[in-house]
A and B are shown apart, each in its own frame.
Chain A
Amino acid sequence: MSETEQNKHPEKESATSRRSLLNKLWILLGIVALAELIGLVFAFFKPRMKRISKAERDAIIVAGPLDSFLPDTVTAFVRGKFYLARLADGGFLALSRSCTHLGCTVPWVAKENKFICPCHSSEFDITGEVISPPAPRALDIYQITIENNIVRVNTSKRKKRSEFTSGQITYPKNT
């Protein structure tokens, strides 16, 4: 609306601008309500994610005494869904059993000394390193603590890694 028209009908102009302000307020309120609704939905789904990680936080699995694991062997833990690999030099790695390609469960083939995925035949060595694709990265690992010669694995946090490095190995303290 131009200046002159505004001067001609001052009360009409103020009425329309008040109305448009109210309309804008309504839209603003609507957006706020929508945002609240979206926030509510997200909040609703959050505890479920948390509950799982909390349940798994307690899931520190006692793997067993040190000397029950011979060097260069792999032991499967069904409940924790991981493999405890003891390398030839005595170090430990806790490997996730999910293939990094599409999530199939990878069995340890002791005869060939490697993990072979049945789904798409990815192969991993004892450190979880990829020997044969299509798997794009090494098997995920879990944190290991060794106290009083007892090996414990914390299955709450699965750590992704692109490849195997010696820093990922946990060694018993006295060696």
Chain B
Amino acid sequence: MNFIERVRLSIFPGSGKPADEQKGSRKYFRSLLLHFRPRVVPKRTLRFNLTWGLGGMAAVLVLLLFSTGLLLKFAYEPFPGRAYDSILHLQHNIPFGQLIRNIHHWSANILLVIVFLHFLRVFFTGAFTKPRQFNWIIGLALFAGVILSNFTGYLLPWDQLAFWAITISSSMLEYIPGVGARLHDLVLGGPDLGPSTISNFYAIHTAILPVLLLLILPFHFWRIRKANGLVIPRSPVEDSDTRGKKVDTIPNLITREVTVALVLFAVVLIISMLVDAPLAVKANPGLSPNPTKAPWYFMGFQEMLMHFHPVFSLFIMPLLLTLGLLVIPYLNYQADTAGIWFCSRKGRQMAIIAVVTAIAVTVAGVLIDEFMIGSKQAGPNMISSGLVPFAIVLTGFIGFYLFMKKKFEATNNEAIQTLFILLVTGFVVLTIIGIWFRGTGMRLMM
């Protein structure tokens, strides 16, 4: 055995043995893969309309973001005076610089949407009940990580868009009672956006969050295996014990995953070639653009800010929302609906009613507040623009829950799902209004 042969064998120990049905290196690769994936998977979980490939897509986008981010790290200079120019240099002088930045930008934005859809998918197929309870919490942590990654990355180009979006978003922190002002100064590294802000955001964006994601993501995957794989999809009339037959992971699952990954990569690449990531003029701390908007995923909060006192729209309501999401897997449910889309047939009817109600009520609410009550913005009065509208909204939610539960003689699974839909749809509608229907001076425009 010569030297090269010995090295080769040390890397692929299987390749020296006589080939049975597989080539040696291929067999080795298979066994490597099967350390991460189960050897067999239930055939029914392969159905595309169970997962829509969303979790896998998110993982692919994270990989894409890591690799493009690493490249960008070599071109970017995290200082207020140089950041913007380094982006210009990247786009104009570095080969494929613009493309790499575009891929990073679009992957990040698509990732937010995909992660949100993945979150909805898991909720609506009941994949958060025992034994997946804690994985729901891990998933929420990852969701938060993705949002924070997007937010900290938003500042780095240091253009007018970035500067003012981060200014108003971080000013939202100041409304947290007690610690708000100190938290704001800690995040920014001082009272205003400056050199410390960039180095804070750069460290969080390129070191802290990637490391946290790399640590938590494998945990998220591992918990799926510990839960014996994905939920088994079933129709509302089927029993939960029917697991069906199993098939080999290779090639059945792997080929599907690779296909989804490649198609997604192609889509991201095409978008990145056609549409450049936005870059406004260099940041000017003396001139706020009109209108100034937060990053699009925070526009729901900025829209709420137009209608509620800041302490309610930026503190109490987000806090209640977060607590609500955290307790979802730990509530006592009357029925086992894991694997059934929208709990049951009744649940589907209720879901449609909830979506329509949420859209109608949210749009009507915004219009009434804008034109009938006539207040240009929610004022600083704690009672009239805080407690009163909050009480109205809360009563609306509780009333809707009780009404739907009684009218449909529903289980609490179905009723809680209806409430969840009402909340999520309402927030999505507010976000859409904020992004596309607010113009100069944040006035409504059609």
Contact = CB atoms under 8 A, between A and B. Distances in A.
A6 B192 CA distance: 66
Contacts of B42: none
Contacts of B290: 118-119
Contacts of A49: 185, 189-190
A159 interface: no
A81 B192 contact: yes
B56 to A, nearest CB: 37
A52 B171 CA distance: 19
A134 B377 CA distance: 5
Interface string A138-149: 000000000000
B288 A104 contact: yes
B378 A102 contact: no
19 contacts: A48-B189, A48-B196, A49-B185, A49-B189, A52-B190, A52-B194, A81-B285, A102-B167, A102-B168, A102-B172, A102-B292, A103-B170, A104-B164, A106-B288, A118-B289, A120-B306, A121-B442, A133-B375, A135-B380
Interface residues of B, number: 33
Contact of B285 (A105, A122, A133): A105
B379 interface: yes
A133 B378 contact: yes
Nearest to A116: B441
B310 interface: yes
B441 A118 contact: yes
Contact of A104 (B167, B192, B377): B167
Given A45-B186, A103-B168, A117 B378 contact: no
Interface in A46-88: 48-49, 52, 78, 81
A154 to B, nearest CB: 15
B287 interface: yes
Interface of A: 45, 48-49, 52, 78, 81, 97-98, 101-106, 117-122, 130, 132-137, 158
A171 B305 CA distance: 39
A52 B196 contact: yes
B286 interface: yes
Contacts of A118: 288-292, 441
Interface string B161-174: 00010011011100
B286 A117 contact: no
B191 interface: yes
Nearest to B440: A118
Contacts of B191: 52, 158
Interface in B286-302: 286-292
A88 to B, nearest CB: 27
A156 to B, nearest CB: 11
A132 B376 CA distance: 9
B430 to A, nearest CB: 16
Contacts of B170: 103
B294 to A, nearest CB: 9
Interface string B197-240: 00000000000000000000000000000000000000000000
B377 A120 contact: yes
B288 A137 contact: no
B172 A134 contact: no
A108 to B, nearest CB: 12
A136 B289 CA distance: 21
Contacts of B164: 104, 119
A119 B377 CA distance: 12
A103 B380 contact: no
A120 B442 contact: yes
Given A81-B192, A119-B442, A104 B292 contact: yes
Contacts of A132: 376
Q: Which 9 A-B pairs have the closest CB atoms?
A: A118-B290, A134-B377, A103-B171, A104-B288, A102-B168, A136-B380, A133-B379, A119-B292, A102-B171
A133 B373 CA distance: 14
Given A78-B286, A105-B287, A119-B442, A133 B380 contact: yes
B380 A134 contact: yes
B295 to A, nearest CB: 13
A117 B289 CA distance: 10
